[in-house]
Structure 1
């Protein structure tokens, strides 16, 4: 087994352990999942729908992980499903499955009907949008009649035109397998990867040209880590090609060819200019020179270490040879560094000019918007003067009205007073009341027992807390009548 095949086998087995139904399910449950479910569609639609939904999720999980066991140097693909005998056999060879997933034939046909799976060749060659939810003429041309013809028996069954209760299920499995086998693009995975890429690009995007121009290598280096975070495998060349097709044809956010990938702003032409190619070439040259300088510096350090080693061993001739080699490498590194500085200076000037262009465009837009506002009839000088004069007259009228209301209020208050109160008389009366109150506070009140002789410690009789009932006028008359009666 080759090293690549061994790695892929390991990835497939590792992925299987993440699926609970495979890792811990009973043999009966696994048999139910892997068996041919075509006849189940008519006999038990609920169970059929549940099995199809489970396999949809499982296929997506396998691709997200990059665990699909495909050969030919295509290990780790994330966006294409290759339904072939090798895939089914890998399930059968896995110790946690031990069965060929024959249900995949029905699942793939269902996903083709809903355009969740699109034949790979059609995906790349079509010029129409690839959204499975659109009904535009372009999308109709995208899903060719060849794709629909392979699912004709499924469509006839849905329309009730089949020759039996379940015409699709009545076909031999091998015939249905030949109809379903092939390579497909999982469109939901493409859309999710595109969304992650665009979100990451927005987080790093600026006026800089360096964030808009890439080749395939730098594009993968910039965005590969964010596309499939659950996978131990980086995106493959086929993944990148599928993703670029969607971003350019369906979303219109970039334009690409074999050498250049260019992000475009809304309203910008989907065109790669000669300037784009020249600038990208300069950026790549700067990156390569920077890499060369780092490698040369590492070689200089290595030559120095070797020279010291031979000096310690008494081999001065070898030490001198390494020192001579180090000197040559230092000269070459210095020359590369000067070239790198020159290219970086040119790139900086281009970036500055590009930024100035963007700023001037912003100024032009602002100027145009301001001119549009100032050209409004209400902002003409004559109209402004007339408006301000009318406002001044209105404010003057308002002030006169306020003054008239205030003066009328004062007259009403004065007219409502029947006589004028003498403030001096009020002050004199108040002074008399204050003097009487002070005299009452100064005069002492008589004390209980005052003027009586002391009792020399003789105990006094207790006195009830409540005194006798006061003799009122009515009480006195009552006492007088009692005396007369007696």
Structure 2
């Protein structure tokens, strides 16, 4: 027998858990530990809560994701290494007490009562009926964590993709399934039961409004405060929903027609290859009829989509006008609260101009006073400069006079002894003159020696030139001799 791939995924997931080494706790009967060892009991319950949530999220427990179907023999699905979970009824009972698992039928009654009323009836008025520990009853249970996660995903997707609120916030059940069934949990598709539970929860949380008619109309609430005041499904909403539904039907019909035309074209080619002209002609007639229908459907779709575009444009214009009104009211309230009027502004400007004029006069007066003080200061500075120059000149004269006195004091006075000294000085001067004359003669001798050396060099140069001339003459004589010899040899050769 081939093993169910979903069961294989469950077992692989269980084996990958880091707590697998404590299988004797998680797969054993631990319901009695609630009083004796509450920490271990809560740990085991949390373990199975996470297992139920993750395996259901992956779609391994059946076609439902949010709704847990207990008729699928969970004990068999969670069997691993020869262990069967023996305390699943206890886990369900504990999760039910904590409102983390709710029966499908009980949850659907939320449509007719408030959340507070339901909580009071569950926790106070009605005693909790414990699940029979022998086996889990065959029913559907709502995993509340997955439900809340799915609701948040739907709201986030809608806020991101609803560009035109007047049209994009309206759905039928079929349109809602096509839009959200595959985007909430990656890789899985929500079932019809999941969508029913999801719609009930969103309506209960006042995120959507549902009109139970022949075709349920579902309207998402926007963040616009004006829409929150009058949140209802109007006749305009019904008309827009019908137009959107017609658009979807036309798109589907066009896809079907295109697929059929493609199939018939393939058959025509096959009949032509087989030379079955009658069948090919019949298929060709079918193809033309389908193409005519396709053309009509495309024309209808164009008209309907144009109507939708005009509705969206009108709604956009209305929103812009509403924003203008809001902005106008806000601006008016600001003016009123601040007391801003044309007269008050004009009065303020006049007072400001007066103050600025006064300030300018004060600045001019301060500037004139500063200029007059500056002129006086300049005159005083000039006088001080002149006086300082005079003082410096007097000081220089005094210093020159002192220098002259000092030099005069150093001059020796004339006496009889000084005459001898004067004669000695004159003799010394004569000797100096003789030395200077001797030095001049020495310089003349040096110049004469240099002249002689230059003459000798000139003589040597002349001699070298004469030798060069003699060499040249010898070369010329040799050349003449060679030429004469050649002349003498020419007649002999002729003879």
Same topology, TM > 0.5: yes
Instruction: Decide which of 173, 181, 184 is 1:216's aligned counterpart.
Output: 173
- Indicate which of 233, 237, 240 corresponds to 2:188: 233
Figure out how many residues of one structure are paired with residues of the other and give that number.
Answer: 385
Structure 1 residues 405 and 59: CA distance shift in structure 2, 3 A: farther
CA–CA separation in structure 2 for the residues paired with 1:396 and 1:195: 65
Question: 2:87: which partner in 1?
Answer: 103
Q: How does 1:56-455 map to 2 (within 5 A)?
A: 56-68=49-61, 75-83=62-70, 86-92=73-79, 96-126=80-110, 127=112, 130=115, 137-138=116-117, 140-141=119-120, 143=122, 145=124, 148-150=127-129, 175-177=132-134, 183-229=140-186, 232-257=187-212, 259-266=216-223, 267-376=228-337, 378-416=339-377, 419-421=380-382
Q: TM-score, normalised by structure 2?
A: 0.68
CA 1:372–1:99 in 2, change beyond 3 Å: closer, same or farther? same
2:15 maps to what in 1? 20
CA distance in 1, matches of 2:218, 2:69: 27
Q: Separation in 2 of the partners of 1:262 and 1:206?
A: 15
Shift of 1:182: 5.0
**Structure 1 residue 125 displacement after superposition:** 0.9
Question: What does the per-residue CA deviation read over 1:224-251, in whole Å, with 9 as the maximum and x for residues that have no partner?
Answer: 222112xx43001111111112212114
Cα 1:407–1:210 shift into 2, 3 Å: same
Answer whether contact 1:306 1:322 (CA < 8 A) is retained: yes
SS of residue paired to 2:219: strand
Aligned equivalents of 2:264 and 2:16: distance in 1? 58
Q: Report the Cα distance in structure 1 between the residues aligned to 2:337 and 2:39, rounded to whole angstroms.
A: 66
Deviation at residue 314 of structure 1 after TM alignment:
2.2
Q: For residues 203 and 141 of structure 1, do their structure 2 counterparts lie closer, same or farther at Cα, with a shift above 3 Å needed?
A: same
Q: Conserved in 2, the CA contact under 8 Å of 1:34 and 1:102?
A: yes
Query: Alignment partner of 2:181: what SS?
Result: helix
Q: 1:323 to 1:23 in 2, by over 3 A?
A: farther
Distance 1:332 1:371 in 2: 58
Cα pair 2:181 2:191 within 8 Å, conserved? no
Alpha-carbon deviation of 1:45?
2.9
Q: Distance in 2 between matches of 1:146 and 1:202?
A: 39
Q: Which runs of 5+ in 1 are unaligned?
A: 69-74, 131-136, 152-173, 430-450, 455-486
User: Kindly tell me: are residues 412 and 20 of structure 1, through their superposed partners in 2, closer, same or farther at Cα, counting changes over 3 Å?
Assistant: farther
SS in 2 for 1:76: coil
Q: 1:128–1:141: 8 Å Cα contact kept in structure 2?
A: no
User: Do the aligned partners of residues 385 and 327 (structure 1) sit closer, same or farther apart at CA in structure 2, a change above 3 Å counting?
Assistant: same
Question: Residue 369 of structure 1: CA displacement?
Answer: 2.1
Check conservation: 2:66, 2:147, Cα contact below 8 A.
yes
| 8 A Cα contact 2:170 2:220, kept in partner | yes
Native 8 Å contact 1:212 1:262 kept in 2: yes
User: What is the CA deviation profile of residues 426-478 of structure 1, one whole-angstrom value per residue up to 9, with x for unaligned ones?
Assistant: 9x99xxxxxxxxxxxxxxxxxxxxx9x99xxxxxxxxxxxxxxxxxxxxxxxx
Question: 1:323-350, CA deviations, whole angstroms, 9 ceiling, x for partnerless residues?
Answer: 1222211222222222222222222222
Question: Rg larger in 1 or in 2?
Answer: 2
Cα distance change of structure 1 residues 47 and 141 upon mapping to structure 2, 3 Å threshold:
closer
Question: How far 1:204 moved relative to its partner?
Answer: 0.8
1:235-292 CA-to-partner distances (Å, cap 9, x unmatched) read 0111111111221211434445452211122415342222222221222212222222
Q: Is the 8 A contact 2:70 2:136 kept in 1?
A: no
- Post-superposition shift, 1:304? 2.9
Which protein has greater RCO, CA pairs closer than 8 Å, 6+ apart? Answer: 1
Q: Pick closer, same or farther for the CA change 1:390–1:20 going to 2, 3 Å.
A: farther
CA contact (8 A) 1:91 1:97 kept: no
Q: Could you tell me how far apart the structure 2 residues matched to 1:206 and 1:141 are?
A: 40
Q: Any conservation in 1 of the 2:14–2:20 contact (CA below 8 Å)?
A: no
Deviation at 1:212, TM superposition (A): 0.8
Q: Distance in 2 between matches of 1:141 and 1:97?
A: 43
Say which SS state the counterpart of residue 119 (structure 2) adopts.
helix
SS at match of 2:330: helix
Distance change (3 Å), C-alpha of 1:325 and 1:23: farther
- Rounded to whole Å, the distance in 1 between the matches of 2:13 and 2:284 is 56
Distance apart, 1:100 and its partner CA = 2.9
1:61: how far off?
0.7
SS in 2 for 1:122: helix
Comparing 193-202 with 342-351, greater Cα deviation is found at 342-351
Work out whether residues 253 and 265 of structure 1, in 8 Å CA contact, stay in contact via their aligned partners in 2: no
- Gaps of at least 5 residues in structure 2 are 391-438, 444-495
